């Protein structure tokens, strides 16, 4: 039987993970690059032009075309939660149990 290379990849160590996704800004940047990998697109009209409105905790994206507002987490797994993205990312990290991370704690 052929070895599944994805199943046996080593994954990130916990220190490497925290270095890449340890802050809210890093998690937001990662989510934004995955969600809108070719740049922001309005979910209502597809317009690329937008404003970024930022309060203490969240960035809101407002379309220049139709003025619809959306957030980075709207329509994603993280929608309607109050947990920080760092908590979500860490939970996802532990749920996939990368071998190196487990070895780190032995």
Can you tell me the distance from the alpha carbon of 28 to that of 98, in angstroms, rounded to the nearest whole number? 22
40-51 burial, b for 16+ CB within 10 Å, e for fewer? bebeeeeeeebe
Stretch that binds Zn ion, among 19-27, 28-36, 62-70, 74-82 (CB under 5 A): 62-70
Does position 48 interact with Zn ion (CB under 5 A)? The reply is no
- Our finding on whether 42 is near Zn ion (CB under 5 A) is yes
Closer of 15 and 65 to Zn ion (Cβ): 65
Q: In this complex, which beta carbon is closest to Zn ion, that of residue 31 or of residue 42?
A: 42
Residue 40 Cβ vs Zn ion, minimum distance, rounded to whole Å: 10
Cβ atoms of residues 21 and 27 within 8 Å? yes
**Whole-angstrom distance, CA of residue 38 vs CA of residue 86:** 24
Interacting residues with Zn ion (CB under 5 A): 42, 44-45, 47, 63, 65-66, 68
């Amino acid at each position: 039987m052929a070895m599944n290379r994805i199943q046996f990849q080593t994954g990130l160590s916990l220190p490497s993970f925290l270095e890449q996704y340890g802050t809210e800004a890093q998690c937001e940047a990662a989510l934004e690059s995955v969600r809108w990998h070719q740049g922001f697109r309005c979910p209502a009209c597809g317009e690329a032009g937008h404003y970024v409105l930022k309060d203490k905790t969240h960035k809101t994206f407002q379309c220049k075309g139709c003025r619809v507002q959306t957030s980075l987490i709207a329509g994603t797994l993280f929608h309607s939660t109050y947990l920080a993205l760092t908590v979500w990312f860490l939970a996802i990290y532990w749920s996939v149990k990368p071998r190196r991370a487990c070895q780190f704690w032995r």
